[in-house]
Structure 1
């Protein structure tokens, strides 16, 4: 994703993002009268894509239907904690019983990207290269998430709430982000978007 001079870049790859299980989760919460409690933890695992970590053409780790939004959020929080995090990253996912489906490990030679499930890793790289890779991956997943949520639920307001609750965006920012991602607002949803912007409290549930 990000190329650095004389330094091959560890590649975080993902395919088409979808959220096929999200409508079922929403229906279960609706039946239990708990839609107002839909959180980022509900959204994130259901936004998925085929995912792989690669070193050049070599595949280090690959998994279909991987929770890429959950990974992106975890990487975003970890990488933003400090300019150069001293702790290793181990993906703590609700989709995996074992910690570290994706790991970023620090050593004297640099940081490697790998997985608990594989013995090989990428070549060690300095933090700025890994940080750039993370940023590109996170932004790409965030851009794809509202498109996937809207496609799965036929609702832009649900896509807005996904970005608000899953990625911590202020509601107005989430609305602008989603509108830009999906290429505009259709007239049917315009009133809902105006309400979401002008009355933030509706994000707690009434629009559902």
Structure 2
């Protein structure tokens, strides 16, 4: 079954470009397009897409605020922020809001396809430039490798195995195949990991895995 995607961007030409890229993949189906954040929320409520691509700067309701509302009205829809702007505060707000992916519009079009598939499969995806900033900021926050190892010490051996694979960017299905367990068990482990680590999403957990040397 094709991955259902909703695209929200206030620039018609940019929307058309994103739609054209997505249309090149037979495994992706666009179920709606929105010109502002409010329309994106309403369309997501109606269509329940697997993935929502949100521009950050949009009229009526910006992408960051829309992502927060989507967490309530369409919690199963996973959000990828797609923006021209890569400022650190935008990245931080998006990840705090639960976004599963963050792409710059200057990224290679193939990254968009990869991101949609990864996020739909339960993984997280950051553009390389964004990932670099996230890790740099995390280090600047004085969270050392020792601190990270102490935090992950509360995990069981199996949870550390799962966290290491999350940190490597694997989806739940890929983790299940690697560890010879069912996907439902992986989801339960990930939920427990986030709770124990106090991480808001897989991206934050992945950074901890990197710092703790699990990746």
- Place the TM-score, normalised by the shorter chain, in its bin: under 0.3
Higher relative contact order (CA 8 A, sep 6+): 1
Higher helix share: 2
